[in-house]
Chains A and B, each alone.
Chain A
Amino acid sequence: MSAICFYFQVHQPYRIRKYRVFDIGNSHEYFDSPPGDRLNNLEILQKVARKSYLPANRLFLELLHRHPRLKLAYSLSGVVMDQLAEYAPETLDSFRELAATGRVEILSETYYHSLSFLYSKDEFAHQVRLHDQKVKTLFHQIPKVFRNTELIYNNELGRYMEKMGYTGIIAEGAEHILGWRSPNFLYRPVGTQKIKMLLKNFKLSDDIAFRFSTRGWSEYPLTAPKFARWVSAVNGSGDIVNLFMDYETFGEHQWEDTGIFEFMRYLPGELLKHPDNYFVTPSEAVKKLPAVGELDFPFFVSWADIERDVSAWLGNPMQDDAAGKLFALESAILKTRDNQLISDWRKLQTSDHFYYMCTKWFADGDVHKYFNPYESPYEAFIAFMNVLQDIRMRLEAVSKSKKITPKKIITSTQ
């Protein structure tokens, strides 16, 4: 018997507009690029909703009706839920419709799709709670399984999430961690008692997410029967096949004309043709399947790039500077109890801002460039740092008026 677990990631950041030095102190609107601009969040969200989220939701709803045994899982960042509510409420409704089938599980993550676990455990825990509340309000579910931003994971996170009461956690099935072991089983994070770990089968997941429309790929074109055969081949040598991918795979990364929707329309039926295959959600998998061993992640692993580490977001001087200065403001910002200021500060924590500052292979042009709405990593950094400077000035103003004297507010940019 082999379980099949689909989990789709839904996320869009609040992209920072072209915010110049001259805006500091004059404008606190950081995320409102003009219409037609490549950084206009409303237009991007509506485009992605139109091309991807809405048609994909419609398809999966139809599939859930046709296949009573089909099950799915989604993780939606808080910032995408907010943007959907504001810019595309009908799309948010269609996600709620999916959840209402009772066969769609919503996972837990940080509200701001942030890197907070790497900088502040308090801030991290707070964002996880915020997110779970939002999920409860919108989808009437209490998430039991956690996935961290970009599947960034290490042993410490596993232990931390067990303490927070989660039964499962998701990570990348990275070869350099797994070695001879298979991603097709559940494992136990080092130093934990109960929590179980689900690993992304990156080979099969990426066959859909990345290679589906690659004409130079020896398996092109990928058909539903062929892919179902590959999944079924795991029977006997694994408990579960975890197919984890960005939801934008459907219609945005792989355009409709690649046939991705048609592929998906037939895939569940093809998978169910094999009598031993069955679908599970992550929390069901955790309940049903045993952890076959301990897995040691001594350093951070993610699902990004060939490196599968955190070097897409942190490590170059700009990224480290920006993140360090952002999180240095934490206690002073929280003390103000100024909700707008706190929310703006948190929106800056979204991992995408740091991804846009990545200079790895920038000049050669690659996936980073494709996913970067800024002209260069340097422009992304300039906008971010200018906004941070404005946040500092607001912080000073609020602190003065409230007569709070934070121990240390960095006023210089140096």
Chain B
Amino acid sequence: MPLKVLMFGWELPPYNSGGLGTACYGLTEALANQNVEITFVLPQRVNVKADFMKLVFADLEGFSWPDFQLNPYDTLKLLPPGVNPELARDLVAAVHLYAKRAAAIAKKGKFDLIHSHDWLCFPAGVVASDVSDRPLITHVHATELDRSGGNGTNPVVYAVEKHGMDKSSAVIAVSQFTKNLLNTYYQIHPEKVDVVHNGVNTADFDIPVDDANPLQTLKDAGFKVVLFVGRLTLQKGPDYLLKAAKRTLEYFPNAVFLFVGSGDMESQLINQTIQMGLSDRVMFAGFLRGKLLTQTFRSADLFIMPSVSEPFGITALESVAAGTPAIISKQSGASEALGHVLKVDFWDVEEMANQIISVLNYPSLHTALKVNGKAEVKKISWSAAASKTIDVYKKVLSRKK
């Protein structure tokens, strides 16, 4: 008998705003391949292709894709005017509405387990677990502490997170880094938390670079391209990279820094770039996805993930899978999984610049990181993550008996 899992998510690609959707897709596909029967619930009806599982839409009223994107990372963003205030006045209200709908969905089928991804889906998971009397597993991809970068943590979100984890039979953390944080700031006992690193489908990033490669002009002009991919927010540390860029360019003028992504720091970063006199070497490309993003990964010379607090950081795996060496912050979960990358404290701008210049300057270093990294990242697969997840399922179910 296959395991039947009712899973609550918030987004799936291509309708995703970050790593949460990517992770849910990669993990569910691999779980399905290992004979887990998944019913995956999304808050809204979207045109997602995922024929390996059953999709259910909670049809929350008050907002719809893509006119309004409920970004899981913008914890306090208000809905546009004209929306029925009884329904989804803000993100927190939407989360609770999602939980209400979860009761009916859970009653409709028979499941062995409930599995909920991040705080947005925790209340839904708790309700589903209550009405069906099935154990709940909460899966932490990021916490409010990561998102706020230590500034202005939202107490409501924190409370939702803690309540969800307290009500769970087991918690899955995407890294030891996150597990430690759950223990320190949420008082979740380490024995209750299992670490399951994210993975990457390396084949998706092993595509040839063609004319769609947006960096070709820069490369033809003799520039080395240093790539940042992520939201432009405090958590992701783009401001540290900007400082390192200035230091790098003093020694390596033929470098270009490309920031891919958007976020609330965007205008601040652009202003800083101008003030620092770097506007001809630092570029902001906005949000890229799909083939364009993959081509960008592949044709960059170096990828940097300078995050201040990064529960995992799938982009690091994607970059290495694409054959582009990576420098990643030590304050990240990915740094536990990857050995063949350079690691740096996000605040150590001097060392970051030292590493950037070295990779651009020494071709044998670039080659060694590329070759060893590609070999290593093959082992950090979604199927490995799925196997570990199934172990957690089995552990919880055996306890229940």
Contact = CB atoms under 8 A, between A and B. Distances in A.
B358 A317 contact: no
Given A22-B251, A317-B364, A318-B365, A378 B342 contact: yes
A62 interface: no
A385 B340 contact: no
Interface in A314-337: 316-318, 320-322
A85 interface: no
Interface in B362-378: 362-365, 367-369, 371-372, 376
Nearest to B370: A317
A317 B366 CA distance: 9
B340 A21 contact: no
A359 B368 contact: yes
B354 A376 contact: no
Interface string A351-385: 00000000100110000000000011111011001
B362 A413 contact: yes
A311 interface: no
Contacts, number: 68
Contacts of B368: 316-318, 359, 377-378, 381
Given A21-B353, A316-B368, A362-B340, A385 B363 contact: no
Interface in B185-238: none
B34 interface: no
Contacts of B353: 21-22
Interface residues of B, number: 24
Given A318-B368, A359-B372, A382 B339 contact: no
A121 interface: no
Nearest to B358: A382
- Interface residues of chain B: helix, strand, loop or mixed (majority): helix
Nearest to A364: B339
A242 interface: no
A377 B353 CA distance: 18
B340 A363 contact: yes
B354 A378 contact: no
B74 interface: no
Contact of A318 (B343, B357, B364): B364
Contacts of B365: 318, 378, 381-382, 385
B357 A21 contact: yes
Interface string B331-352: 0000000011011000000110
A363 B353 CA distance: 24
A137 interface: no
7 contacts: A21-B358, A318-B365, A362-B339, A363-B376, A376-B342, A381-B364, A414-B363
Interface of B: 247, 251, 339-340, 342-343, 350-351, 353-355, 357-358, 361-365, 367-369, 371-372, 376
